[in-house]
Amino acid sequence: MCNILLAGCLCAMLAAGPLNNPPKLELLRNDKASQLHVLIDGREVLVYLYGKTLDLPHYWPMNSPSGKNMLVQQTEPYPHHRSLWFADTVRLNGGREVSTYNALYSGQKKGPETYGPPFRDHIRHLEFTRCEAKDSRAVIETKLVWEMDSHRPVLEERRHLVVHALGENEYLLDITFKLIATYGDVKFVSDAVHYAWPYIRMHPLFNEKSGGIITSNNGATGQEATNMKVALWIDYSNTVKGVTEGVAVFQWPDGQEHRWLTREYGTFGPRRPDFQSGKSFTLKKGESITQRVGILIHSGDVETGRVAERYQQYIKVEWGK
């Protein structure tokens, strides 16, 4: 079990109601299985998978307030999608393209559409630099490295994840994702679509094809009205087995407009600012780039889940510290 060292949290502001009996967060780390389990009141809500045989670390499953897994880990088509993940395509010091987004296909072919380790391009988890939980809040900090060709480092990655239990089995993930050009100049060469900062791939039961509704903060709904449009947040909700639940992703305000990719089959996520999305740019050695998002797992739809109100609360509080 991870150390329990944290100070009190501010979760009550985003909670669905008064926290008369505050929920308790717990982290269970299993290095043998390369899994970190996040539990609220003894109930698993999220798992971070970081095994060396993976093409890239990712989060799966992610459970709804009623206990349903909301994400799909791997599916056809697009088996490189990884439930909740970060990835991109870059060049180090003018070298070849390194695609962690398509890292799966750089592995050894095991069958017609099956790939396994070793992967020529991949993201490797190095260590947890902080892993603490107390009361209704937990902090998970990780150090990773993006690699090519037999563990040659390309980029250093740092993730800062704060989990807030909000009561009634709802919770918020506040993730700051940072890439550092530690090993030389790195040119980002991904187009406007094929990178993940981050992406979420919804379980088929929750996606738009199954009746799910994509909604942006400006009231637009559906893929056609939200895809590659500027938004502050996107919500994806559906009623499954009589229970309505959803996931909202909040873009932290950084002074830039962000467009979003949305797909009716279940993938969605924010783009980088326009001047760095779909256009090549270079991080000089020692420079870094950061993106921060909040992910709210809520009961109800976009209205009854109070997504707009909770976004405003999210950006007014320093949740990530």
23 is a domain residue: no
Alpha-carbon distance of 173 to 158, in angstroms, equals: 16
pTM higher than 0.75? yes
Which residues, 6+ apart, have CB-to-CB distance to 149 below 8 Å? 120
57 is a domain residue: no
39 is a domain residue: no
Task: Express each pLDDT in 138-197 by its tens digit.
Answer: 999 999 999 999 899 999 999 999 999 999 999 999 999 999 999 999 999 999 999 999
Task: Express each pLDDT in 75-125 by its tens digit.
Answer: 989 999 999 999 999 999 999 999 999 999 999 998 777 899 999 999 999
The number of distinct structural domains making up the chain is 1
36 is a domain residue: no
270 is a domain residue: yes
Alpha-carbon distance of 148 to 159, in angstroms, equals: 20
Phi, psi for residue 172 in degrees, rounded to 5: -125, 135
What Rg, from alpha-carbon coordinates, does the chain have? 19
62 is a domain residue: no
Which residues, 6+ apart, have CB-to-CB distance to 296 below 8 Å? 14, 170, 171, 172, 247, 248, 249, 250, 305, 307, 310, 314
What is the residue range of 146's domain?
Answer: 68-123+140-316
Spell out where 117-204 has E strands. 121-134, 137-148, 152-167, 170-180, 186-188, 196-201
Closest alpha carbon to 180 in 92, 279, 80, 293 = 92
135 is a domain residue: no
Task: Express each pLDDT in 227-248 by its tens digit.
Answer: 999 999 999 999 999 999 999 9
Residue 321 has pLDDT above 70, yes or no: no
Q: Tokens 């043998």 map to which residue?
A: 32
20 is a domain residue: no
Alpha-carbon distance of 14 to 32, in angstroms, equals: 35
